[in-house]
Amino acid sequence: MTNIFFCKKCLVMSTRNRISFNKDGVCSACQWNEEKNKINWKKREKQLFKLCQTNKSKSSNFDCIVPVSGGKDGSYVSMMLKKKYKMNPLTVTIRPSLEMDLGKKNLSNFINSGFSHLHITIHQDGLRKLNYYGFEKFGFPYYGWLIAIHSVIIRIAINFKINLIFYAEDGEVEYGGDAKLKDNPLYDSSYIISNYLENKYQDSLKNCKLNNEEKFWFEIPDIKSLKKENIIITHLSYYHKWNSYENYIYAKKNCGLEEQKSRNEGSYTNFAQNDQKLYALHCYLMYLKFGFGRANQDACIDIRRGALSRDQAVQLVKMYDNQIPSHLFDEYCDYYKIPKNKFFKILDKWANKKLFKKIGKFWYPKFNIV
């Protein structure tokens, strides 16, 4: 925080967790974007074919599990595995809190495009406790749901004896984080807990004091247990040159994906993360903590795929990144069962005072995007 700067190619900020920059001031995400052009993707696809064929299920009707929300990436992964690689995926959705109508419609459209599907509704009190704990203790308003998109999938894999799990992209590699898996397609529960759950998983489960019923879906097996059950977890992005916009076009054509009629909260795009209202709060807190929000994230992706110049991206981020989802604040308070003054105190706690100044109830940037 003492030397805040932006990537010379995109708009990634130096405040981002686990980001790194080379001597030219280019972030690890942009470096990876260039590196992808040199990868032998045909070789990696052969690895994917082998992985699929080797793990065709002999004890289940399903060959793999794909977590889906009805959005672009899970839809793309599921359809590619089914059509191109002749896999029979069981698709699984973990119902989020504060569902959006468009998300429900897109999930229905996806299922009707030809997939077997499980819709898991977690004990709502347990989910709310973990979500609120994440919101209050480390500014992560859907932390319980984030745990569940890993823990639930693994539990189903074990119970249904399906040993292969495909997630979409590895966000750490694609967007500038820990790149230790860029040359390794497989990972285990230790990576989930350290990178996706930021090593806060065990403390969260312990401190929320969930009863056995509430805790059921949130328990993540250790590495030894995964090996015993022969559970293999991977990302399709390791085998395919990842392009989230192309995934959107593919899902729109093949899975009935629909976008918002207007732009998404806090950004200029309209086709991603349309399943739950808590995502807008997540992005706003990300902005308060680190200085970049949803528009910045979208703009960096669009710069890397050649759809925006850096100058264009700067203008879009200045226009939309500081959008406050205040019209949802009453709904958030009702969900967390807290008064609005408590809600604002939590926001204030997570606002980075080196980056923002408070005017009235809200926080505004002291920094300039350059």
pLDDT attached to residue 1: 55
- Residues linked to residue 116 through DSSP beta bridges, in sequence order: 90
If one counts every other C-beta atom within 10 angstroms of the C-beta of residue 1, the result is 11
Give CA–CA dist 218/257, Å, rounded: 29
Mean pLDDT of 57-76: 93
pLDDT attached to residue 179: 86
Give CA–CA dist 260/272, Å, rounded: 9
- Residue 315 pLDDT > 70: yes
pLDDT attached to residue 306: 96
The helix/strand count (H/E) of the chain reads as 17, 8
Residue 107 pLDDT level (bands cut at 50, 70, 90) = very high
- For residues 288 and 356, is the Cβ–Cβ distance under 8 A? yes
- CA separation, residue 115 to residues 36, 70, 73, 120, 161 (Å): 31, 11, 15, 16, 19
**Of all helices (H) and strands (E), which one includes residue 117?**
strand 116-120
Give CA–CA dist 16/36, Å, rounded: 22
Give CA–CA dist 256/109, Å, rounded: 5
Mean of pLDDT over the chain = 95
Closest to 214 measured CA to CA, from 139, 132, 140: 132
pLDDT attached to residue 2: 63
Mean pLDDT of 70-80: 97
Give CA–CA dist 285/23, Å, rounded: 30
- Residue 262 pLDDT > 60: yes
How many percent of the chain have pLDDT more than 90? 94
214-234 pLDDT, tens digit each: 999 999 998 998 999 999 999
Q: Which two tokens stand for residue 358?
A: 């408070």
Three-state secondary-structure class, residue 89: strand
How many percent of the chain have pLDDT more than 70? 99
Residue 167 pLDDT level (bands cut at 50, 70, 90) = very high
pLDDT attached to residue 366: 94
- Chain centroid to Cα 268, Å, comes to 19
Residue 156 pLDDT level (bands cut at 50, 70, 90) = very high
pLDDT attached to residue 370: 86
- Domains, the chain, with CATH or none: 39-238 (3.40.50), 265-365 (no CATH)
pLDDT attached to residue 251: 97
296-308 pLDDT, tens digit each: 999 999 999 999 9
What single DSSP character describes residue 220?
P
- Residue 203 pLDDT > 80: yes
- CA separation, residue 63 to residues 81, 87, 139, 283 (Å): 10, 6, 37, 35
